[in-house]
């Protein structure tokens, strides 16, 4: 089975665990690390709405908490039949933290998917390297 198809399938399985009593919008994600390990995640909502966590960030956080910071692909699944599920802006930035040259598979409920890179989803992004460029403080940064 193709890597993409398998990863999308895992994201669909992860979607089954979605905790979304408020939006009823189930999302699952599966991230493939550079060494071939897969971590999955689902959206986790909260009665305090802004605290809700997206599936993509759940999956990536699970991987990072296990020592993985190098990723090849993340697949995302939802129940949408007619359009490919697209990561929100916060998740795009969250992915960007770990590089811009890796792939995002955005799927439909039938398992078909569209591939874009993190760079394509978040052009002209701000990342860890940009922080290092700011090592020459001027103005009022006297801390």
Could you tell me which stretch among 38-46, 81-89, 111-119, 127-135 binds Zn ion (CB under 5 A)?
A: 81-89
Contact present, 9 and 38 (Cβ < 8 Å): no
CB of 18 to Zn ion, least distance (A): 13
Quick one: which of 91, 104, 118, 121 contacts Zn ion (CB under 5 A)?
91
Instruction: Indicate if the alpha-carbon torsion angle 5, 13, 59, 39 is positive or negative.
Output: negative
User: What is the C-alpha radius of gyration for the chain, rounded to an integer number of angstroms?
Assistant: 16
| Catalytic, out of 13, 16, 56, 120 | 56
56 is catalytic: yes
Is residue 88 part of the contact set for Zn ion (CB under 5 A)? yes
Nearer Cβ to Zn ion, position 83 or 88?
A: 88
- β-bridge pairing 71-78 and 27-33: antiparallel
Minimum CB distance to Zn ion, residue 91 (Å): 3
Task: In whole angstroms, give the CA distance from residue 126 to residue 96.
Answer: 8
Q: Does 54 bind Zn ion (CB under 5 A)?
A: yes
């Amino acid at each position: 089975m193709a890597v993409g198809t398998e990863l999308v399938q895992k994201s669909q399985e992860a979607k089954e665990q979605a905790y979304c009593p408020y939006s009823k919008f189930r999302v699952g994600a599966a991230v493939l690390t550079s060494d071939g390990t897969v971590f999955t995640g689902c959206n986790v909502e909260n009665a305090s709405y802004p605290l809700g966590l997206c599936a993509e960030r759940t999956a990536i956080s699970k991987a990072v908490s296990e020592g993985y910071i190098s990723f090849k692909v993340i697949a995302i699944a939802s129940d949408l039949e007619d359009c490919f599920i697209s990561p929100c802006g916060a998740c795009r930035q969250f992915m960007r933290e770990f590089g811009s040259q890796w792939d995002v598979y955005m799927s439909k409920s039938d398992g078909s998917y569209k591939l874009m890179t993190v760079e394509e989803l978040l052009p002209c992004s701000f990342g860890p390297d940009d922080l290092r460029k700011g090592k020459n403080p001027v103005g009022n940064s006297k801390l």
